[in-house]
Chain A
Amino acid sequence: KNQVEQSPQSLIILEGKNCTLQCNYTVSPFSNLRWYKQDTGRGPVSLTIMTFSENTKSNGRYTATLDADTKQSSLHITASQLSDSASYICVVSAGDYGQNFVFGPGTRLSVLP
């Protein structure tokens, strides 16, 4: 069964600190892996999209990594800000057409002053 797991379920850090969120997947076939940020009461917003051949991709203070061999991805947030408080969702595309997206449950990040 195609599945995406994320850890931790929730995380609290102080403003200015770095953090890393984890995503493990068992999805086949694999097309690409995405990270989304979802603020409370809003829809998800795309942060990064990585294909099989990409190991890392950055978007400002967000850096995603992908190890297709171990089927793991991470999202690293540098110098966190209060506005980083949100849920971060890992999504894997299971195939090359249609609605073949497998969504993880998300990691809830809280950044405190």
Chain B
Amino acid sequence: GAGVSQSPSNKVTEKGKDVELRCDPISGHTALYWYRQSLGQGLEFLIYFQGNSAPDKSGLPSDRFSAERTGGSVSTLTIQRTQQEDSAVYLCASSLRDAAGSNQPQHFGDGTRLSIL
């Protein structure tokens, strides 16, 4: 299908290791969002990319978290020196254009379930 694709679907790693999570948005979607969802909690905003504009990084919880979006398409979220509190599901979403003020839906991937041992 032509939905948002995230990889890996599951990742288990040891505390202190670095991890990279990948998101392939729907082709043509200019807006891309990363969220974190902890068990039983609402989605927590991490970072937002819109076209060629500077990303909104205001949701990143610490400087161990970073993200980039190459060529306006694929995005990678990197977590350095992972901690146990980083364990969560990381969700990526894309929309045709900025969704907040429009009727454009966000299309979500199925997420990467990250477990830090």
The residues of A with any CB-CB pair to B shorter than 8 Å are 4, 31-32, 34, 41-46, 49, 51, 89, 93-101, 103-106
Question: Is B100 in contact with A31, judged by CB distance below 8 angstroms?
Answer: yes
Contacting pair A99 B105 (CB below 8 A) = no
- Complex alpha-carbon distance, A104 and B110, angstroms: 19
Residues in B neighbouring A96, C-beta threshold 8 A: 100-101
B45 pairs with A101, CB closer than 8 A: yes
With contacts A93-B100, A98-B98, A98-B100 taken as known, whether A42 is within 8 angstroms of B42 at the C-beta atoms is no
Tell me if B's interface is mostly helix, strand, loop or mixed: loop
Q: Is the CB–CB distance between B42 and A99 below 8 Å?
A: no
Decide if A43 touches B42 in the complex (CB within 8 Å). Answer: no
Chain B positions 73 through 100: 1 when the CB is less than 8 Å from some CB of chain A, otherwise 0: 0000000000000000001010000111
Q: Which of A42, A45, A97, A103 contacts B101 (CB 8 A)?
A: A97
Q: A-facing mask of B98-114, CB < 8 A → 1, else 0? A: 11110101111111000
**How far is the CB of B96 from the nearest CB of chain A, in Å?**
12
Beta-carbon contacts under 8 Å, B13-67 to A: 33, 40-43, 45, 48, 50, 56, 58-59
> Which chain A residues lie closer than 8 Å to B110 at the CB level?
41-43
Chain A residues lying within 8 Å of B91, measured Cβ to Cβ, are 43-44
Does the CB pair B100–A106 fall under 8 Å? no
A98 and B33 CA atoms in complex are apart in Å by 10
Check if A43 sits within 8 Å of B100, measured CB to CB: no
Partner of B42, one of A89, A93, A97: A89
